Each structure stands twice: as C-alpha cells, then as structure tokens.
C-alpha cells in the first residue's frame, strides 16, 4: 500500500502524518481547503519539506463538506497515482464551551465536517476499493468518542457518531477485503484549540451568569501554551503501524493517549468488544 490520501493536511495531525509518511517513502496525496488563500503557506512549507525526502507529495484542494470537491480531488488523484490504497479521514473541527450556547449553525457545521464529511469520503472511495478487494480507511475518532468531558458536547457527539459509523463499516467490509479502522487520539499539542471560537449564542452564554467561565477550568484558555501536552508524533507512528500491518489483521481501534494512559477509554473499548462478541454469537453473525 503505497498511495495514501489524507484529508485536513494544512496543520495538526494531518500535516505531521503527511510529513512522516513522505519521509518513510510513501506517495501522499495531501488534501486541504483554501490552497490559494489561507492554506497557501502551509502547502508551500509541505512542498519544501517533501522535496528533501524519499517519498512523493501531491497537494490537492478538497473540501469534505462538498461532494463535487471530493469528486474533483479524487479524479485528479487517480490521474496522478492510478489508484488510492489508503484514505485517512483526519479533517475535523471542534469547539468547547457551554453546550447549550452553541447555535444550530455551529452544531450543523461540526457534524457536516466530522461525520457527514467522513461518510462522503467513504462513499467516494469505496467502489474502487471493493472492486479491487483491498484498501484501508483510517477514521479519526477520539477518546471523546468514548468518554465525556464537560463543555465539549457537540464535538463529543460527532466522535460518538464516528465510532458507530466506522464500526459498522468495519464489519460490513471486512469480508470484501477492505479494512476500516479507527484511531482514538487523546490530548496532544497541536493548533486544534487555538483556532476555536467558542459558542456563538452570547445571550444564552450570558444567562449562565457567574458560571459563564466554568469551561475554562476544564479546558483552559484557547491561547494558553499548554506545554504539558505531548508532541503528536505517536499519532503518525500509529498510522504507519496500521498501514504496514497485514490486511485483515488490523485492530478496529487504536488508542493513542500518553497523557491520560487511556483511562476510561481503554475500559470502554474492552467492554464494547466483549458486548459485540456476545451479540454476534447470540445472533449467529460471523463478522467479528
């Protein structure tokens, strides 16, 4: 598996994963939005990095909220590399604050990117993968798709949705030679929090009175340096391990959480696996 498409490569996990894979010799289709505007600098920096490595880089405009954008990017990608072996659904947005104060538009946007965007991507790439009876899709979940942190309700809901969506795909496509797996990152030092805006319904927020700033006690201020957070390289390393694992042998969930050591998430993963196996045995399914 040599040709790898990654969504959301302008920064964070996506950018680091692209760099790590290029350095290892893979061909990477790094996708992002705003190539001619706000992502132009990031794209240029990634190109400069790739020029010094053994792998190959192609940068494509791709907006996971737009089917036409996805279709155009994949068409161009196939022209460049013939076939796409791995898709990493990394693109995502999040925010923290009183859940009630997030507007309907904010809620829809988070689901549109984090959940519907993944479904759009999978519908776009799966026909060719099924035709070849091979392929790997890695969907970014989160420990917040398993355990709940207060003041992150909408983001957490999107990641809970990704857990259910991805696990169903995992069972459905395993007999067809396509592996669908999840990565569950904990907290890492990226720009994820720095670009958040908080809830937009200021009147609703003000109605909490003296409690309005309680979310900062859990999450801190967006512009805090938070040097206690670990570097995200373990995420890219975990992705390489999944790619290089034998097809059909890849675990459904890969938890990467050095900050909290998987507390809570690990317990829920184990309980869920046991419950699904019991259900499968009870109903006579042979998919787990």
* CATH code of the domain containing 202: 3.40.50.720
Q: Report pLDDT for 191.
A: 78
> 105 in a domain, yes or no?
yes
- DSSP character at residue 263: T
Neighbours of 237 (CB within 10 A): 13
* Active site (annotated) includes residue 10: yes
* Active site (annotated) includes residue 155: yes
> 288 in a domain, yes or no?
no
Query: Does residue 195 have a pLDDT over 70?
Result: no
Q: Which of 141, 142, 152, 166 is catalytic?
A: 141
> What residues contact residue 204 under an 8 Å CB cut-off, 6+ apart?
98, 100, 101
Separation of alpha carbons 141 and 125, rounded Å: 19
Number of H-type helices and E-type strands within the chain: 10, 7
> 50 in a domain, yes or no?
yes
> 206 in a domain, yes or no?
yes
> 41 in a domain, yes or no?
yes
Separation of alpha carbons 19 and 21, rounded Å: 6
Query: Does residue 86 have a pLDDT over 80?
Result: yes
Q: Which domain holds residue 164?
A: 3-283
Kindly indicate the confidence band of residue 269, based on its pLDDT and cuts at 50, 70 and 90: very high
Q: pTM of the full predicted structure?
A: 0.96
> 106 in a domain, yes or no?
yes
Q: Report pLDDT for 194.
A: 62
Q: Which of 26, 151, 156, 159 is catalytic?
A: 159
> 31 in a domain, yes or no?
yes
> 12 in a domain, yes or no?
yes
Q: Average pLDDT for residues 228-251, to the nearest whole number?
A: 97
Q: Report pLDDT for 197.
A: 83
Query: How many structural domains does the chain have?
Result: 1
In tens, the pLDDT along 91-137 reads 999 999 999 999 999 999 999 999 999 999 999 999 999 999 999 99
In tens, the pLDDT along 158-178 reads 999 999 999 999 999 999 999
Q: Which of 26, 151, 155, 169 is catalytic?
A: 155
Separation of alpha carbons 73 and 173, rounded Å: 24
């Amino acid at each position: 598996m040599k040709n790898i498409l990654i969504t959301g490569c302008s920064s964070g996990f996506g950018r680091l994963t692209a760099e790590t894979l290029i350095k290892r010799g893979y061909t990477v289709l790094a996708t992002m939005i705003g190539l001619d505007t706000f992502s132009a600098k990031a794209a240029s920096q990634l190109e400069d990095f790739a020029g010094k490595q053994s792998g190959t880089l192609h940068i494509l405009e791709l907006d996971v909220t737009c089917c036409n954008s996805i279709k155009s990017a994949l068409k161009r990608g196939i022209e460049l590399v013939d076939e796409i072996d791995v898709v990493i659904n990394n693109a995502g947005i999040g925010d923290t604050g009183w859940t009630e104060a997030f507007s309907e538009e904010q809620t829809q946007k988070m689901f549109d990117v984090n959940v519907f965007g993944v479904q759009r991507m999978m519908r776009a790439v799966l026909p060719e993968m099924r035709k070849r009876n091979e392929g790997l899709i890695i969907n970014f979940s989160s420990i917040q798709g398993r355990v709940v942190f207060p003041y992150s309700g909408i983001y957490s809901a999107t990641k809970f949705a990704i857990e259910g969506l991805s696990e169903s795909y995992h069972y459905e496509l395993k007999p067809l030679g396509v592996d669908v797996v999840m990565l569950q990152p904990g907290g890492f030092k990226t720009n994820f929090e720095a670009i958040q805006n908080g809830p937009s319904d200021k009147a609703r927020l003000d109605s909490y009175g003296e409690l309005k700033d309680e979310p900062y006690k859990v999450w801190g201020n967006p512009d805090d340096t938070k040097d206690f957070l670990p570097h995200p390289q373990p995420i890219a390393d975990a992705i390489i391990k999944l790619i290089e694992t034998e097809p059909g042998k890849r675990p459904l969930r890969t938890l990467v959480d050095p900050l909290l050591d998987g507390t809570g998430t690990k317990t829920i993963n184990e309980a869920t696996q046991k419950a699904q196996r019991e259900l499968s045995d009870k109903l006579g399914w042979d998919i787990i």
